[in-house]
Structure 1
């Protein structure tokens, strides 16, 4: 997701898609025409490129569940909860951006990743817990993206079936073959080193995100006009449509869905690492980028979620574009779902890069003389280009994709998985660690007013995360009662 710098500056290799100390590579130290103060290629990011990266990361498949989430909470609590999450996300992101450099905000040592920042400010068991949660969240996101992509591919197949045979035909389709197809594509793409550094990736992902989100929004508006009224209620889905206990669990799960839609803390530091050197400090630029992107995202989410709820009321589908509240125009639904698949192919790789880098770096440190891990086989791709195939990268990344694909086939519940992922990552990664790092970085006195307020914020978000996780787990348990692994069709 980073900037490539000037073409006249030689890019030192960073195999295996990991951050390597510049001195180990013999790079020049200190600033120069081509290099920043840490010996890396000059960063060229601005407030606008950073905003684009954040919007690309945030506006993803999570937007599709927002109509359902607002439907569980109603016209009052739904938008209020969304505004609450947007404020918390902005505030904790601002805290996290202050942790990009250790010490002086303009000249201090850079932390290139989220884990680097945690290690620089915290220690011991907290670092290990953060690492576990980060990588568990990445695995969960990979599973969630596989499920979402397969559901969109199934939706394309079913929409064409409905168009040919009418709505009376159930048009049942198994998602298994589509998950396998998505997995094969991801195995191929996972062999591209430094996939997250491809400069045009964010542009393509942003276009795809806005394409399917805008189509969902437009179809919602058209449906409201066709209905001649705004559906929904102040308190959300009615008792009777669901049981009182289901109403509680669904409302809690809605919190997780909204949290997932705002999740991007894991890659905030990486985005900040693309910003050009001070002045002004990267933290100031990142804070401006954060407020711009969170404001744009919130407005967009409000429109998509509220219009979906206004169009369907209590019947708002868990996935706005695959729940078949909309049937026509079928070709527009096909475009939207194809855009989702294209977006998720790239997003899967971007989110998995930190895990890929971690495993490959550990393997290189543990077995530095192993030919299996270090040897690269040069494959010519023409007269001037070649590809370096690494057997360890090929083996381990392929195994990872296969495992996430199989788990997705065993548990293909989009809404429940999205809600659980949102709950799993929200408190620890979006709130707790940024708050704790900020307290250490700024030396906030214990029991001072600011310290107490930060701890109360963290505690409140912990309660929300636990409640949302409980709601999502209850949803999974309910789904498993009627689901048959590898056999159920949609």
Structure 2
């Protein structure tokens, strides 16, 4: 077989040209996202001792389980076996059809939850741009309220249009723009935090973190912080897809393990810098989102640029996460109703003043995608709580996708029997991560319920 050409599990061939460095870049780009905006608040809940230690703990668990998952790219042997091009195919080969259903359920819940989080985050950044300009014109004490629900509707309308464009998931520039903007707002956030810290010169914060409110509130905020860190580290659901781009020799799993180490080390260093510098800058008053919490008023233009990067990133990234959901559901209903014109008949519309030619669509694509995006926007409008939603998404996705399935596939691959020392170690780690995910889910749900008591329906005002 030619170098760089691989036969996949479905019998087809595809060419791979990825290297250690391209895989490292993909991993860093996949991990770095909106979770970085909550890191200062997260460290503030945990304090100077537990904050960095928890970040390092999530790094170690994510790296270790990622190496196990990298060995499951091929079946049954990690070097000579048949490749699996997507995560769920690896689960099917190693664990059987029952686990495929559970894996798919976890993946698609995580994908949809991410869309809700993107809608909330993009709308809060839109609000922040409007308010930053208002504060700059009228002073920091001015009343600069803005409706979050209005901006969520605007964001949803963008997605309604983008969802109808053909093959959006294959447009290369979309990923390039998403990567550039995600690193843009991440480094702007780091620079603003460093500037604020330098401006007052104090090393703020405490060893145990915030102590505002009752001990119960403190405990729930700690649990919510764990969910935020889990969200910031979750990328297992696309690890197999990244590995599928790597050429061999050397074996893909060896290259992927190195890329995972380099990518996660770079990301963890960045997380520690942003979380710790942000905490040193703000202390126990760290905002939930460093770009929209108005810990910074000036330079207003830099805050605007950071938030515009967030908006652009999520306008494109929304479709990257939505397209797999669309494809799975549309393929399912097409198979169930092979003769239905509503599903299969294609219509063409000429786009004026463009070079795209005709836009093709089916009525099912138009109607079902519109309903899906409207429902997602509605849920975001009902739950417009940045930290709580990020924590819940992270808690729901971390254990099953990053720990349980990689550990279970590794034990099946290596034929590790119940009661063996490694079985006990792996199951103990999985149980601990399950408990952390459950605890983080409880903290996130409690925060959502608490905030709903003070929220007016469809009148989210910042």
Q: Give the TM interval when normalised to the shorter protein.
A: over 0.9
**Could you say which residue in structure 2 is the equivalent of 1:289?**
259
Q: 79-88 vs 436-445, which deviates more?
A: 436-445
C-alpha separation in 1, matches of 2:155 and 2:132: 19
**Could you say which residue in structure 1 is the equivalent of 2:308?**
338
TM-superposed CA distance for 1:206, in Å, is 1.7
C-alpha separation in 2, matches of 1:144 and 1:262: 15
Tell me the SS of whatever aligns to 1:389.
Answer: strand
Aligned partner (choices 368, 376, 381) of residue 338 of structure 2: 368
C-alpha separation in 2, matches of 1:397 and 1:193: 13
Q: Does the 8 Å CA contact 2:4/2:17 hold for their aligned counterparts?
A: no
C-alpha separation in 1, matches of 2:365 and 2:105: 21
Q: Does the 8 Å CA contact 2:346/2:361 hold for their aligned counterparts?
A: yes
1:174 correspondence with 2:144: no
Tell me the SS of whatever aligns to 1:400.
Answer: helix
C-alpha separation in 2, matches of 1:87 and 1:365: 43
TM-superposed CA distance for 1:323, in Å, is 0.3
Aligned partner (choices 361, 374, 380) of residue 389 of structure 1: 361
TM-superposed CA distance for 1:126, in Å, is 2.7
TM-score by length of 2: 0.94
Q: 331-340 vs 116-125, which deviates more?
A: 116-125
Q: Does the 8 Å CA contact 2:205/2:279 hold for their aligned counterparts?
A: yes
TM-score by length of 1: 0.89
TM-superposed CA distance for 1:385, in Å, is 5.1
Q: Does the 8 Å CA contact 1:35/1:41 hold for their aligned counterparts?
A: yes
**Could you say which residue in structure 1 is the equivalent of 2:319?**
349
Q: 333-342 vs 187-196, which deviates more?
A: 187-196
The residue correspondences of 1:69-84 to structure 2 (distance < 5 A) are 69-84=42-57
**Could you say which residue in structure 1 is the equivalent of 2:434?**
462
**Could you say which residue in structure 1 is the equivalent of 2:388?**
416
**Could you say which residue in structure 2 is the equivalent of 1:63?**
36
Q: Does the 8 Å CA contact 1:194/1:353 hold for their aligned counterparts?
A: no
Distance 1:146 1:284, change over 3 A: same
Structure having the larger proportion of residues in helix: 2
Aligned partner (choices 33, 43, 61) of residue 88 of structure 1: 61
Q: Does the 8 Å CA contact 1:147/1:414 hold for their aligned counterparts?
A: yes
C-alpha separation in 2, matches of 1:283 and 1:383: 43
Aligned partner (choices 368, 373, 376) of residue 401 of structure 1: 373
TM-superposed CA distance for 1:33, in Å, is 9.1
Unmatched 5+ residue regions in structure 2?
none
1:328 correspondence with 2:298: yes
**Could you say which residue in structure 1 is the equivalent of 2:122?**
149
The residue correspondences of 1:44-63 to structure 2 (distance < 5 A) are 44-63=17-36
C-alpha separation in 2, matches of 1:34 and 1:261: 32
Tell me the SS of whatever aligns to 2:15.
Answer: coil
C-alpha separation in 2, matches of 1:383 and 1:423: 44
How many residues are treated as equivalent by the alignment? 457
Q: Give the superposed CA RMSD.
A: 1.9
**Could you say which residue in structure 2 is the equivalent of 1:12?**
none
Deviations 1:276-322 (A, max 9, x none): 2x322222221111111101110111111111111111110000100
**Could you say which residue in structure 2 is the equivalent of 1:452?**
424
**Could you say which residue in structure 1 is the equivalent of 2:283?**
313
TM-superposed CA distance for 1:346, in Å, is 1.7
The residue correspondences of 1:92-107 to structure 2 (distance < 5 A) are 92-107=65-80
Tell me the SS of whatever aligns to 2:45.
Answer: helix
C-alpha separation in 2, matches of 1:182 and 1:79: 35
**Could you say which residue in structure 2 is the equivalent of 1:252?**
223
C-alpha separation in 2, matches of 1:285 and 1:170: 54
Aligned partner (choices 174, 180, 203) of residue 176 of structure 2: 203
C-alpha separation in 2, matches of 1:462 and 1:271: 26
Deviations 1:190-238 (A, max 9, x none): 2244433332333222211111111111111111111121110111012
C-alpha separation in 2, matches of 1:426 and 1:384: 40
Q: Does the 8 Å CA contact 1:205/1:346 hold for their aligned counterparts?
A: yes
Tell me the SS of whatever aligns to 1:487.
Answer: coil
Aligned partner (choices 406, 413, 416) of residue 441 of structure 1: 413
